[in-house]
Structure 1
Amino acid sequence: MPRAGVPTRVAVFAALREVLEENPWRSVTLAAVAKRAGVSRQTIYNDFGSRAGLAEAYAHEVADAFCDLVDADMEANADNPRAGLEAALRTFLDGTSGDPLIRRVQDGDAHPDLLRLVTTDSGPLLAHIAERLTIAVARVWPIADPAAGRALARTIARLGISYVAMPPETDDDVAAELAALLAPALEASIDPDA
């Protein structure tokens, strides 16, 4: 039985985070995650298929959590697209290093399974993030050109994944720089006469 009153998926992801705080990915076993989550190892196999499947599902969960925060930042700055983009990018760039799976990738302590999630096998994750961001942009700035919104969302998704794989190497304000670069296209699609 999973942790009292906690859905299995939530318990497994919480357990994975805890195990990752204590161990490098190469030492993470489904048995350890199952024990910590209070479920059987077979339950994890049934739900996720494998250790790589668990990592991929967890990556989607983390992406959804960040997309929710990014959406809220854009919504809070709906009247100022540049500020909305900057806040959203800052939330993402500053927040990702707090996740133990992402830290393992960024610290160079990543197994090839993890690296593939943000490189050669990142297509499904990129598509998922881009779709979530496309919906958010269209909701926050409903008069924005849909094609521009999709292009912006795909660009942010790709940049986000690249910064997960390799965080900014300078002390520059990357969020402000990216917002300054991307905001004019968004602003032009919202108000073509501007």
Structure 2
Amino acid sequence: MARSRGRGRTREAVFAALRELLLENPWAEVTLEAVAKKAGVSRQTLYNDFGSRRGLAEAYTFAMAEAYCDAVDDLLAAEPEPLAALEAAMQLFLTGAAEDPLIRRVQSGEAHHDLVRIVTADSGPLLDRIAERLAAGLAGRWPTVDAATVEAAATLMARLALGLVTMPPPAGDELAKRMALLVAPAFGA
């Protein structure tokens, strides 16, 4: 148990270091050695945990998705109004995506093709995980909605979110509301 907590703290430090480096440098200039140094771990630790720069980018992407899903779960539980809960969840993603340096690199066209593939051609596992987590959160919030509807709504939300990673959303505050309006009828909102 203590070992897994230590590994979790190491991963958090590595992801924080990667984020900091991406704020300062393009992906092409971010090396595992630089990430290891900034995170206070050995380069061998990164190779052992992630295998490669692409492996690190994939793990970082999955960690971001998990954090997003955790925050969505919290929003869904806290907001009594279904439409407002869905809109807040969509807005959370849009705001988070706009602030993340890895996503900004992909959106601006500055990302290495390996990064772009993680959220395009190779996005199946990421999409499945996001949809699975969203479905669990939606089912917990609306237990009377049938499983097929929950799954379809979660898949739609995951695909919308992932689609917005590769191309920046249009400017304006209405997008989250419009996206929520697409999904809300499934939940009686």
TM-score by length of 1: 0.90
Superposed displacement of residue 169, structure 1: 2.4
Residues 140 and 162 of structure 1: CA distance in aligned 2, closer, same or farther (over 3 Å): same
- RMSD (CA atoms): 1.7
* Runs of 4+, deviation exceeding 4 Å: none
**Are the counterparts in 1 of residues 142 and 187 from structure 2 also a CA contact under 8 Å?**
no
Task: Name the SS for the 2:71 alignment partner.
Answer: helix
Superposed displacement of residue 171, structure 1: 2.7
Residues 12 and 152 of structure 1: CA distance in aligned 2, closer, same or farther (over 3 Å): same
Alpha-carbon distance in structure 2 between the residues aligned to 1:131 and 1:5: 24
Worse-matched range after superposition: 162-171 or 54-63: 162-171
> Number of paired residues?
184
Residues 91 and 149 of structure 1: CA distance in aligned 2, closer, same or farther (over 3 Å): same
**Structure 1 or 2: larger helix share?**
2
Superposed displacement of residue 186, structure 1: 2.2
Residues 30 and 148 of structure 1: CA distance in aligned 2, closer, same or farther (over 3 Å): same
Alpha-carbon distance in structure 1 between the residues aligned to 2:13 and 2:58: 16
Alpha-carbon distance in structure 1 between the residues aligned to 2:40 and 2:184: 46
**Are the counterparts in 2 of residues 152 and 186 from structure 1 also a CA contact under 8 Å?**
no
- Kindly provide the amino acid, as one letter, of the partner of residue 163 in structure 2: S
Instruction: Report what 1:112 is aligned to.
Output: 113
Which stretches in structure 1 are left out of the alignment for 5+ residues? 189-194
Alpha-carbon distance in structure 2 between the residues aligned to 1:44 and 1:164: 25
* Residue 29 of structure 2 corresponds to residue 37 of structure 1: no
Instruction: Report what 2:127 is aligned to.
Output: 126
Worse-matched range after superposition: 121-130 or 102-111: 102-111
Q: Give the alignment partner of residue 59 of structure 1, picking from 50, 58, 61.
A: 61
Task: Name the SS for the 1:83 alignment partner.
Answer: helix
Residues 36 and 168 of structure 1: CA distance in aligned 2, closer, same or farther (over 3 Å): same
Write the deviation string for residues 136-176 of structure 1: whole angstroms up to 9, x where unpaired. Answer: 01111111111101111111000000011112124361111
Give the % identical residues: 58
Instruction: Report what 1:192 is aligned to.
Output: none
**Are the counterparts in 2 of residues 82 and 180 from structure 1 also a CA contact under 8 Å?**
yes
Instruction: Report what 1:191 is aligned to.
Output: none
- Kindly provide the amino acid, as one letter, of the partner of residue 103 in structure 2: I
* Residue 18 of structure 2 corresponds to residue 16 of structure 1: yes
Superposed displacement of residue 5, structure 1: 11
